[in-house]
Amino acid sequence: MGASKTDHFTEKQNQLAAIAKALGHPARVAIIEYLLSVDSCICGDIVNVLPLAQPTVSQHLKELKNAGIIKGSIEGNAICYCINEETLSILQAFFSHINNHLQIKKSNCC
């Protein structure tokens, strides 16, 4: 196996899982943090910042892009990446939802 049985779950569950999965690697977390740390979007220097080879970084960027977490646009012979707020807000809404529920019911065991 190795493949998730996505068709047995709701669209929403699959969507949330896909976004979370894309963030489930330290290099990709580092990319997001770097994108945040610079003032605008970045055109070029991600590879020099990460401790990974260029093809590997390119692959991680691709996955973040596929998950909709970042957007990239061509800027001369470089590519300009920035965070896609809409996608991350989906995850944030999920966590707000969780926290609301947890605070209301004040878990009565465990």
Which residues bind to a second copy, rule: CB under 8 A?
Answer: 4-6, 8-10, 13-14, 16-18, 20-30, 32-33, 36, 39-41, 51-52, 71, 73, 80-83, 85, 88-89, 91-92, 95-99, 101-102, 105, 107-110
Residue 86 backbone dihedrals phi, psi, to 5 degrees:
-55, -45
Contact 6, 78 (CB under 8 A): no
Residue type, 68: G
SS3 11: helix
For the bound state, the minimum distance from the C-beta of residue 46 to a second copy, rounded and expressed in Å, comes to: 14
Tell me the sheet residues that pair with 72. 81
Q: Give the interface with DNA as residue ranges (CB under 7 A).
A: 1-5, 21, 24-25, 27, 43-47, 52-56, 58-63, 72, 74, 76-79
